[in-house]
Amino acid sequence: MTGVQGNVALSDILRPVSPPRELENVYSKDQLARLLDVVRTQGPWKSILAQHFASVEELIATMSGSMPEGVEATLDMFLTPTFRGFYANYSTALYPEIFDCFYNETFLEYAKSYWGAQYAKPQMMLFNINGPCGNTDPGHLDTPSFRGVRYENSPTWLCSVMGKSGLFKDYLIKMAQVITWFSHDPGSGFTFWPEGPAKAPGRLQPPIYNRGVVVQNEMMMHRGEANGPLELQRPAGLSFDTRFTGDPSDKDNWRLVNGDEVIAQYRTEDLRFLVHWSAEVFEDFAELKTNMEGTDNLTYDRVFETLLKDMRSRGIEVETPTDPMRDPQFIRTLIAAYDFGTPKIYPEGANPTAIYSEAA
């Protein structure tokens, strides 16, 4: 496995425009109640892995890019009982109950201030929710978007590789997130690497109830932390078909279900609930106009030509694939080429849950 120390240049690419800015009392009690009510009434909800990744290669592309020698990765290694849904997408709120949460003037001012920019527009809003849950993620990047190649229309692994390569920064869509947690767990915080994954991390210290950060998570390694009793963090029967849903008879009871079978139940006070709001940011009107009119967009052909040229210039032998979007060997080559390794430094007590014990 390629280590961080041999890839300091790649590690240094992964630095946000500004360090995270901490926030307190982000949502009102009424807003929280409405956000949770959408989760309760509009489910059931799929796990994050089941929604976003078709193969382990695609998942690893958002993380370190490689596994320890002798370990054959599978998606099952990374399966945790963490579930996701969208409140808004394509700059549109999907539920009238949360309009004021999404079209949020305060959040837009946070985003503009974070970048020192003139304009911003809300783009997306999602939630992650779980009861007691381990976390095998060593650290990851959120999916970046580029003019012409966006997270909405392109594979997650490709956007991740483009971001980690540093080759397309002139086309990167400026983004800012307001990410907020509701968790009473005294040991579960948020770890982030604002100086790159080769350097020491920062941490939003627990407990993190109604606390948040303004961040650029597409260019900063970060990870949520495990929560709840260890013996409850991976419920028996958990699978890619497991769903998260509210209990129709009790608004403070939540269930994990496989079809009609309930495999776990949680109370609201035991949840770790994350609300992720994201905005596109524009330095000035000229940048806004370029982004909206699409006059300087990337194409897939140009992206792959750029990546192939760069890899070959660094002595990496790679054939030109006939189907670069689906060729597994080509995808693995790309991931390895822009691998910076996993972070080596974690806050005390906030290390990833081990996933390699069976192969060790």
The domains of the chain, with CATH numbers, are 4-337 (2.60.120.620)
Q: Is cis: bond before 207, omega within 30 of 0?
A: yes
Q: Phi, psi at residue 170, to the nearest 5°?
A: -70, -10
pLDDT score, position 336: 87
pLDDT score, position 4: 37
Question: How far is CA 343 from each of CA 73, 199, 331, rounded to the nearest angstrom?
Answer: 18, 8, 22
pLDDT score, position 54: 57
> Count of alpha carbons within 13 Å of 232, Cβ hemisphere only?
13
Q: Is cis: bond before 194, omega within 30 of 0?
A: no
Per-residue pLDDT reduced to its tens digit, 221-273: 999 999 999 999 999 999 989 999 999 999 999 999 999 999 999 999 999 99
pLDDT score, position 74: 58
Instruction: Name the average pLDDT for the chain.
Output: 89
At residue 285, does pLDDT exceed 70?
yes
pLDDT-based confidence at 26, cuts 50/70/90?
very high
3-state secondary structure of 91: coil
Compute the average pLDDT of residues 272-283: 98
pLDDT score, position 29: 98
pLDDT score, position 63: 58
- The answer to whether 222 and 212 are in contact (CB under 8 A) is no
Label residue 21 exposed, middle or buried (CB < 10 Å: 0-12, 13-18, 19+). Answer: middle
Compute the average pLDDT of residues 69-74: 55
pTM given for the model: 0.88
At residue 326, does pLDDT exceed 60?
yes
Per-residue pLDDT reduced to its tens digit, 179-232: 999 999 999 999 999 999 989 999 999 999 999 999 999 999 999 999 999 999
pLDDT-based confidence at 72, cuts 50/70/90?
low
pLDDT-based confidence at 98, cuts 50/70/90?
very high
Portion of the chain with pLDDT greater than 90, in percent? 74
Would you state the structure tokens that stand for residue 180, as one six-digit string? 């907020």
pLDDT score, position 56: 54
pLDDT score, position 151: 87
Would you state the structure tokens that stand for residue 239, as one six-digit string? 């699978």
pLDDT score, position 340: 78
CA distance 193 to 332: 25
- Looking at the DSSP bridge assignments, the partners of residue 203 are 191
Per-residue pLDDT reduced to its tens digit, 123-172: 999 999 999 999 888 888 899 999 999 988 998 889 989 999 999 999 99
pLDDT-based confidence at 2, cuts 50/70/90?
very low
The residue among 137 and 100 whose pLDDT is bigger is: 100
Q: Which amino acid is at 224?
A: G
